[in-house]
């Protein structure tokens, strides 16, 4: 079998496993990506994701060959997911709803993609003869966007996501590292040009330069990876985004004409209705068991209940909907400090002339029995803000 014929067969098998794009490269990344990664880490732009700055993991990202002894080829694949069926302006107007990033509208892609990559790898063993192989989906120290660009799958956009001419950026990446030698594809060209739409529109100005994201300001990081009290200055900028953010993708011109709905796995990655502009009031009612049941197959389980409800409290505080006040009062003494503290912040923003005295009384009562210093600070600040309104 010739090199071109072999890759055609590999791509056909990849498509059979649900991967719409499949390209090959050597286990190397371009120097520009190596230098950018080091500078990003040196400047501390990874926030609390300390593992991103660990010396061993940094070196592995810079040198993919360290991920598998004798690796000769990296197969980069992409699985499509459904873009939102609403604009961000429409989502912003739904004051009682929370926005969840589109890839999390369906089941957890990590589990789906890894299982299918292993199936594809097993077929490659039959096709190419037994070879050592490892599969990765997002969680390993792999510079996946740089490898995808080198493989010709797409180019890395100024928002740092990979963009494909036909599919835009609405896809998820995975890799097979193999000791089999497969002819590499040609590197992808960059087609962002002078466009700066993603940079200009970012709600928190987290894209601090083309191809550079400050995770500490990124809504996706804040709502998913960050496990602490979100800085006050960023809370109001988050709007009603409660798990991730798609703004930089929604505004990208390449997504304006991306093929929508083609190649989507209808069984797993198609949106579940309850996660599409989710009802904030219902989410705030979730206890630990209800959270576990609702999100057991969803990537949203990563935030745990405390993280998601923290985000819900912020969205409520930004909504201007006074009807959320009773629900927020109910979680003011929640067992999780993150929820208590952000509920206090939200209450100070929502109470009106009719409810402020009641809210003020509840905040003072909670402050008397509160033991967490961070929550005490939130309560004190909320009480001060309300007193200034009265």
CA-wise closest residue to 18 among 115, 108, 96: 115
**Sign of dihedral through CA atoms 378, 97, 351, 335?**
negative
Burial of 240 (0-12, 13-18, 19+ CB in 10 A): buried
Catalytic residue among 92, 125, 138, 385: 138
Tokens of 145: 């966007």
Q: Is 185 a catalytic residue?
A: no
CA-wise closest residue to 288 among 307, 272, 269, 265: 307
- The three-state DSSP-derived secondary structure of the chain is CCHHHHHHHHHHHHHHCCCCEEEEECCCCCHHHHHHHHHHHHCCCCCCCHHHHCHHHHHHHHCHHHHCCCCCEEEEEEEECCCCCCCHHHHHHCCCEEEECHHHCCCCHHHHHHHHHHHHHHHHHHHHCCCCEEEECCCCCCCHHHHHHHHCCCEECCCCCEEECCCECCEEEEEEEECCCCCCCCCCCCCCCCCCHHHHHCCCCCEEECCEECHHHCHHHHHHHCCCCCCHHHHHHHCCEEECCCHHHHCCHHHHCCCCCCCCCCCCCCCCHHHCCEEHHHHHCCCHHHHHHHCCCCHHHHHHHHHHHHHHHHHHHHHCCHHHHHHHHHCCCCCCHHHHHHHHHHHHHHCCCCCHHHHHHHHHHHHHHCCCHHHHHHHHHHHHHHHHHC
Tokens of 330: 């109910």
| Active-site amino acid positions | 138
């Amino acid at each position: 079998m010739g090199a071109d014929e072999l890759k055609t067969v590999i791509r056909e098998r990849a498509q059979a496993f649900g991967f719409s794009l499949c390209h090959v490269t050597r286990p190397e990344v371009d120097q520009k990506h190596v230098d950018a990664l080091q500078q990003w880490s040196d400047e501390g732009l990874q926030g609390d994701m300390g593992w991103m700055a660990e010396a061993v993991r940094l070196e592995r990202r810079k040198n993919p060959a360290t991920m598998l002894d004798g690796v000769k080829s990296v197969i980069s694949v992409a699985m499509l997911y459904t873009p939102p069926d609403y604009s961000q302006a429409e989502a912003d107007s739904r004051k009682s709803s929370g926005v969840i990033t589109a890839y999390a509208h369906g089941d957890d892609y990590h589990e789906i993609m890894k299982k299918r990559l292993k199936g594809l790898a097993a077929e490659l063993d039959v096709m190419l003869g037994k070879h050592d192989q490892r599969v990765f989906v997002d969680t390993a120290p792999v510079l996946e966007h740089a490898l995808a660009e080198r493989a010709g799958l797409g180019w890395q956009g100024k928002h740092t996501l990979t963009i494909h001419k036909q599919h835009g950026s609405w896809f998820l990446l995975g890799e097979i590292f193999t000791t089999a030698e497969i002819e590499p594809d040609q590197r992808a060209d960059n087609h962002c040009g002078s466009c700066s739409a993603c940079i200009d529109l970012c709600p928190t100005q987290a894209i601090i330069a083309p191809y550079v994201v400050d995770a500490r300001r990124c809504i996706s990081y804040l709502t998913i990876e960050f496990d602490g009290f979100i800085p006050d200055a960023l809370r109001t900028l988050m709007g009603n985004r409660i798990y991730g953010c798609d703004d930089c993708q929604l505004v990208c011109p390449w997504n304006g004409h991306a093929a929508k709905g083609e190649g989507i796995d209808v069984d797993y990655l198609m949106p579940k209705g309850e996660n599409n502009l989710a009802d904030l009031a219902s989410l705030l009612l979730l206890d630990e068991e209800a959270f576990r049941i609702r999100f057991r197959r969803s990537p949203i389980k990563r935030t745990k209940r405390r993280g998601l409800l923290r985000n819900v409290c912020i969205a409520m505080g930004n909504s201007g909907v006074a009807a959320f006040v009773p629900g927020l009062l109910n979680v003011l003494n929640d067992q999780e400090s993150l929820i208590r503290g952000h509920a206090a912040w939200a209450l100070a923003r929502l109470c009106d002339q009719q409810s402020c005295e009641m809210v003020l009384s509840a905040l003072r009562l909670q402050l008397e029995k509160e033991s967490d210093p961070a929550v005490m600070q939130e309560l004190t600040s909320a009480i001060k803000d309300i007193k200034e309104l009265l």
